[in-house]
Amino acid sequence: MGKALKASGVSLKAGPGLDAPKFFTPLTSSPTLVLETEKGIVELLLDAEAAPNTAAAVADAARRGVYDGTIWHRVVTAFVVQGGDPRGSGWGDDGFRLVDEVNPAPFLRGTLGMPKAGPDTGGCQLFVCLVPTPHLDGRYTAFGRVVSGMGVLDVLEPGDKILKARLR
């Protein structure tokens, strides 16, 4: 993986005060991330082909229980819902950061994306688009899509919990 990233021009050096990005073992398939929320079940198909490291990182976080009990800390009507932050503030992480895996996938209703605070700062948080958001295209990592439960996401409120996350 390092050779491929180096050939593509991705820098693996850490900036001031930042740890080097973390790389995960690639998934052999694209699993479904099942989020049990207070409002119902949401199923998200992770795209291990378009964003292999991001999909693997989120799968790893789900396996380790990182999402269990976290809240949807950001809910913006007609835009996105965002959660998965262990702190619940929007500034928490799981102790690592990810290289951006920007790809051609458009951000449509139901697209699963990786939030970031700057280049290569993604982590364990995630967001889902409630509407098409073309201004995110080519700027953020799209790494999956909703396959079931979009109506649940539509009615989430800030502070609603992800009770349990698992892979299927």
Backbone angles phi, psi at 63, to 5 degrees: -60, -35
* 125 found inside a domain: yes
Q: Which domain holds residue 29?
A: 24-167
Element (H, E) at 56: helix 52-63
pLDDT at 95: 82
CATH of the domain at 105: 2.40.100.10
pLDDT in tens, the chain (168 residues): 433 334 344 444 444 455 778 999 999 999 999 999 999 999 999 999 999 999 999 999 999 999 999 999 999 999 999 999 999 888 888 888 999 999 999 999 999 999 999 999 999 999 999 999 999 999 999 999 999 999 999 999 999 999 999 999
* 92 found inside a domain: yes
pLDDT at 18: 56
* 120 found inside a domain: yes
Structure tokens at 60: 């790893």
Amino acid at 3: K
Asked whether the beta carbons of 149 and 36 are under 8 A apart, the reply is no
Number of folded domains in the chain?
Answer: 1
